[in-house]
Structure 1
Amino acid sequence: MTEMTAEAAADALDRALSGRMDSESVDAIARLAPHVERQELTRLVHTTMPLQSAVLFRVLDKDDALAVFEGLPPNYQAELLQNLREPEVAQIIEGLDPDDRADLFGELPARVVSGLMSGLDANEREMTAAVLGYPREAIGRYMSPEVLNLHADWTAAEAMEVVRARIDGPETVYLLPVVAAGRILTGVVSLRNLLEAETSAPDTAVGDLVREAFSVHALTDRERAAREFLSHRLIAMPVVDEEERIVGILTMDDVLDIIDEEDAEDVARSSGSEPLNRSYLSSSILRIVRSRIVWLLVLAVSAILTVQVLEVYEDRLDQVVILALFIPLLTGTGGNTGNQAATTVTRALAVGEVRIRDLGRVIWRELRVGALLGSVLGALGLTVAGLVYGWAIGAVIGLTLLSVCIMAATVGGLMPIIAKRIGADPAVFSNPFISTFCDATGLILYFTIATMVLGLQ
């Protein structure tokens, strides 16, 4: 089929999945699915409701079904399995890599996992159990235990012979760990260098080709390990235990999955909600509501602080009613300034550019940034408000903008580091809480400056 025909088939399949599930719809799904590309099939399975997804999944051939299944998030894989027949489930589980299998098992009830584990052969069961033995947030949970190790005293020709004999087993052979007795990691060698040595000097010892390895401990936090992986621009990274024995290898696809999940969580929480952990279109209304309602309640309660501040300074507003006109401007500026600082610092923390011990440097830097931003905005506020409402009001607005920007930038840069220090998610301390804090504090600054400049009682 042409690309346009394949696209039309995908659109028709999408419509069939969106309608009522009857015999006619199932026949249409079975007829259209073979003409749709795997990437589009994965999207359709992921974005439709579980029952419709199961119907589509069942009409796929074995290879397409496994490829589509591997492209789904683990939590959605678990939901999909509940709508499949037992033989189909066993076939899928057997086709997964140990690390992907362990990721899926983490979403299933223990009794279901026990039954699925018993259906695996001894080697697959042992490797899967090894990965499941690590905590959920440890990088060992995401590594592949299938590793092709080389020994330093092998020649390049001997090493390549082993690689060719076992090339179908490991998840990657582009970077090969080199080990000493007891599987102690001594370094790595790239497949490219090994091939070059085999061609030009086959008797070259593997030990002469070894370079220092960037490795990670199996109990290291998964996001930290993934960020380190990306910062070094690696294609694979050995995972070791406390005795520096190699226990697995981390590959790019595992790292990208971790980063995608962590970034989705940070984006959701910074905007005042919880991640859905599945596609938007396949999420029920109640699931979406649950992801948002708790944060809305928390923010509604915290916003009472702003109301209380306004109540305290109600008499000042009665004296100079014009002050009320500028409240949205000042609170909005403070919230935006704080959010900008928090987002920047949260990102810097995530990629390792800022550490907890850099707290003082961050505060000093954001204080200066806030002062410069406040100076620009304050000068603009002074000029515009002064020309329209008088220079006394202009002075109040200008000084308040300067003060609010300094305060908001400093607090915005401070909070993510404090969150990291106490073990909380820095994203939680980002936009929602900073906006509320800056609203209340900004109003206090506003009315304090107005009282001083205008001589209010």
Structure 2
Amino acid sequence: MSKGELGDLLDTRDLVGVRRWLEGQPAYVIADELARMDAVSAVVPFRMLGKDEALTVFEELEPPDQQRLLSGLRDKAFADLVEGMDPDNRARMLDEAPAKVTNRVLSGLSPQQRLMTAALLGYPEGSVGRVMTPEMMSLPITLPVGDALRRVRARGAAAETIYTLPIVESGRRLVGVAELRDLVLAELETPLSDLVDTEVPRVRATDSAEDAARLMTETNLANLPVVDSENRLVGLLTFDDAMEIIEAADTEDMARQSGSSPWSGHYMFVGVWQLARARAIWLLLLIVAATLTVAVTQAFEATLQEVTALALFIPLLIGTGGNAGAQAATAAVRALAVGEVRTGDLAKVIWRECRVGLLLGAMLAAVGMVVAAVFVDPRIALVVSVSLVVICAWAAAVGGTMPLLAKAARIDPAVVSAPMVTTLVDATGLIIYFATANAVLNL
């Protein structure tokens, strides 16, 4: 059966068919189907899963979908589920949960799990401390490899990961890490200090989670040690959590770059009103910004009345300029996100994008000259061509630098979205066009 049939099976109350469908699907497919359902409907197939599989499926869900599913579970099932979650996944769910849900979850936890979850929630929002796992296996640097392996076998089951083993000295101060593979292949008498990598990157628990996750992708780490202000080990950022952080950050940036506020939860279950509200604010702002274009056109009304043919090319010019600015803005936001440029590179980015814009404008002007000369006077074709070169250079410079200026002002660069850059370039592009027309045509 295909995954799209689960809803139909529930509608017809074919519980045997539902159970058969669940047996043939991986966890992420089941999670996607549950995210499309309301709490009452989702609980039915969820309760048919085995305990371990149910936990795996639950952790595949996004926090809003987890909260919705929990609302449909009775207290015993509710308590078993949240108790079995990893502390970092539990904290991630509660990060966006209403106070009522948070209190219900924390009150149902064992003292140890409650303490770990509360500790994670105590770190600043957006910090790596909120998403790290405190369930890790660390080893004293004084051990030989044989003793270290025996300790891993004895205590490793309680850790979320044992492939990266933090090595600590007295006071739990981090020395470095050792890989389990190296321990397994080494002689048992080898000192652990011979295998430790002391140059491994580390982050503080209060550092940005997104920056830590991107550091992991740059350094190809499976796990990243997290320390406090005194270099004491407090947790690990695991690779799967890092990928979720980057996915969430990229999703948010994509929404902002398209002129929308980000939302959480499965697209197919998010309400129409919520989606409209996420987009309406930006559209209203863009309408206000677009009045600049109207004002510029009105200011040059006399020029248009004298040479009406100029109006034919307004859509072409503002569309081209807007697209050039949007391309540069998107490239700049991406380069900032992955650390390829910094705010100190502002002058270099301006110079680089100006040259890119000039090249693009020259190529488009060559085509525009031919097209314009076919329909209008050659002098107007010259106006269009010159305007294309200048507008493209200006648009690329504006689009490339606005995200850097936003970053310097501690504003999310994605907020300076492509639609916002496009609207600004539209208005200024018209000024360039009409100014060029006045100069070339002696108006």
Question: Structure 1: how far apart are the matches of 2:97 and 2:16?
Answer: 31
- 2:188 aligned with 1:202: yes
- Using the size of structure 2 for normalisation, the TM-score is 0.96
User: Structure 1: where are the runs of 5+ without partners?
Assistant: 1-6
Distance 1:34 1:196, change over 3 A: closer
Aligned position for 1:3: none
SS at match of 2:305: helix
Shift of 1:58: 2.8
Q: Does the 8 Å CA contact 1:78/1:107 hold for their aligned counterparts?
A: no
| 1:134-161 Cα shifts (integer Å, max 9, x gaps) | 1121011000011211111100000000
Q: How does 1:312-323 map to 2 (within 5 A)?
A: 312-323=299-310
Q: Does the 8 Å CA contact 1:49/1:283 hold for their aligned counterparts?
A: no
- 2:171 aligned with 1:185: no
Question: Structure 1: how far apart are the matches of 2:312 and 2:440?
Answer: 17
Q: How does 1:266-285 map to 2 (within 5 A)?
A: 266-285=253-272
Q: How does 1:202-241 map to 2 (within 5 A)?
A: 202-211=188-197, 212-241=199-228
Question: Structure 1: how far apart are the matches of 2:28 and 2:94?
Answer: 24
Question: Structure 2: how far apart are the matches of 1:31 and 1:204?
Answer: 52
Q: Does the 8 Å CA contact 1:176/1:189 hold for their aligned counterparts?
A: yes
Shift of 1:114: 2.9
Q: How does 1:51-450 map to 2 (within 5 A)?
A: 51-197=40-186, 201-211=187-197, 212-450=199-437
| 1:391-449 Cα shifts (integer Å, max 9, x gaps) | 20111001100010110000001100011111111111021110100000001111111
Paired residue type of 2:189: D
Distance 1:291 1:55, change over 3 A: farther
Question: Structure 2: how far apart are the matches of 1:329 and 1:203?
Answer: 75
Q: Does the 8 Å CA contact 1:147/1:248 hold for their aligned counterparts?
A: yes
SS at match of 1:176: strand
Shift of 1:282: 1.2
Paired residue type of 1:206: L
Paired residue type of 1:38: A
Paired residues, what number? 442
Q: Does the 8 Å CA contact 2:142/2:193 hold for their aligned counterparts?
A: yes
Paired residue type of 1:95: G
Shift of 1:31: 5.9
Q: Does the 8 Å CA contact 2:38/2:68 hold for their aligned counterparts?
A: no
- 2:6 aligned with 1:13: yes
Question: Structure 2: how far apart are the matches of 1:125 and 1:310?
Answer: 63
Question: Structure 2: how far apart are the matches of 1:154 and 1:35?
Answer: 46
Shift of 1:11: 3.5
- 2:438 aligned with 1:451: yes
Distance 1:155 1:439, change over 3 A: same
Paired residue type of 1:353: E
Instruction: Spell out structure 1 runs of 4+ moving beyond 4 A.
Output: 25-28
SS at match of 1:224: helix
Q: Taking every aligned residue pair, what percent have the same amino acid on both sides?
A: 45
Q: Does the 8 Å CA contact 2:259/2:418 hold for their aligned counterparts?
A: yes
Distance 1:104 1:33, change over 3 A: same
Distance 1:88 1:250, change over 3 A: same
Question: Structure 1: how far apart are the matches of 2:262 and 2:101?
Answer: 26
Shift of 1:27: 6.8
Shift of 1:104: 1.3
Question: Structure 2: how far apart are the matches of 1:384 and 1:419?
Answer: 38
Distance 1:15 1:274, change over 3 A: farther
